[in-house]
Amino acid sequence: MITRRGLLKAFGGFIAAGFASSAYAVGVEPMLRLRTVTYRIVPPGWPTGQTLRLVALADIHACEPWMSAARIRGICEHANTLGGDIVLLLGDYLSSMRAVWGKVPPADWAAALSILKAPLGVHAVLGNHDWWDDLEAQAAGGGETFSHRMLREAGIAVYSNRAVRIETMTGAFWLAGLEDQIALRPGRQWNRGGFVGLDDLPGTLAQVTDDAPLILMAHEPDVFPRVPSRVSLTLSGHTHGGQVRLFGYSPMVPSAYGNRYAYGHVVEDGRHLCVSGGLGCSIAPIRFGSPPEIMVVELG
């Protein structure tokens, strides 16, 4: 028999559980947890004997207190211990969240990123927030953002619709990076419609001049249906794994494809995509079931 006292105890338990879950989602998972997720992939046509270990960081979203310069530096120090042949940064170094104590000066987050090291270097693309938060770049309708400049000054190669051939001890590969797919926000005089992308997939791939494997960095995964089989692997961030993820499902994903490209290793028609859950937060400083992560991909 259910008594009034029993109902009150149950209700109190639900309230306590709600407070505990909220405290974890705000104070523990986004700030205190960091995991490394590793994928081992042999894409179709990958050369026998050629190996490559990628370490990828996405969606840093520098801000106080959630992603301070000191925390970014600590994450980078840990990334340096993962034995990557190359480090890839997948965009969104800036934060647009309102629930912050303050911004991290660009010079500070760039200095933290500058400690990243790998035999084949550190390479980056930009994300939508790097464009959205740069009012001069928005007014100009393109060109270059201050994030481009800060990354270069930190010794990091920045890719804006560019492909570069890289030689390794086990074979060469191409690394390509797209400019952001929703870089320009609506509302400017020259842009009365929706978001405008500055990505050029055909132009970027046209720079590849031989049959060495090709790896593509694209901040948003929504480009993946247009990526040809010539690309061995596409790497993306942006979605944060939905930030809230239960039983492999996220109720809100910033993608036109919903959960299709929300997180993890996706294979479609023999083509491979890896979407990082990222490190920081967007809109709200909440993560539940999608802790901050560094993504490692072992190829070959």
Instruction: Give the global pTM.
Output: 0.89
Question: Does residue 5 sit in the same domain as residue 109?
Answer: no
| Helix (H) or strand (E) run with residue 29 in it | helix 29-32
Residue 103 to residue 64: CA distance in whole angstroms: 6
Question: Does residue 264 sit in the same domain as residue 154?
Answer: yes
Share of the chain above pLDDT 70, in %: 87
Q: Is residue 76 pLDDT above 60, yes or no?
A: yes
Q: To 5 degrees, how large is the angle CA 44–CA 208–CA 273?
A: 40
Burial 101-140 (b: 16+ CB within 10 A, else e): eeebebebbbbbbbebebebbbbbbbbbbbbbbbeebbee
Would you give the DSSP letter of residue 62? B
Residues 92 and 72 sit within 8 Å (Cβ to Cβ)? no
* pLDDT tens column, 10-30: 333 322 333 334 444 455 554
* pLDDT tens column, 131-140: 999 999 999 9
* pLDDT tens column, 264-300: 999 999 999 999 999 999 988 999 999 999 999 999 9
Number of domains in the chain: 2
- Point out which residues pair with 198 in neighbouring strands: none
For residue 156, give its domain range. Answer: 35-299
pLDDT value of position 102: 87
* pLDDT tens column, 135-154: 999 999 999 999 999 999 99
pLDDT value of position 17: 34
Question: Does residue 26 sit in the same domain as residue 133?
Answer: no
pLDDT confidence bin for 191, thresholds 50/70/90: low
- Point out which residues pair with 62 in neighbouring strands: 94
Share of the chain above pLDDT 90, in %: 82
**If you average pLDDT over every residue of the chain, what do you get?**
90
* Cα Rg of the chain, angstroms: 20
Question: Does residue 265 sit in the same domain as residue 191?
Answer: yes
Question: Does residue 181 sit in the same domain as residue 264?
Answer: yes
Question: Does residue 142 sit in the same domain as residue 7?
Answer: no
Region of poorest pLDDT, from 40-44, 50-54, 101-105, 295-299: 101-105
CATH code (residue 50): 3.60.21.10
Question: Does residue 117 sit in the same domain as residue 2?
Answer: no
Question: Does residue 143 sit in the same domain as residue 13?
Answer: no
pLDDT value of position 187: 76
Q: How many CB atoms lie within 10 A of CB 14?
A: 10
Question: Does residue 21 sit in the same domain as residue 161?
Answer: no
Question: Does residue 157 sit in the same domain as residue 263?
Answer: yes
Q: Is residue 259 pLDDT above 50, yes or no?
A: yes
Question: Does residue 16 sit in the same domain as residue 137?
Answer: no
Question: Does residue 16 sit in the same domain as residue 120?
Answer: no
pLDDT value of position 189: 55
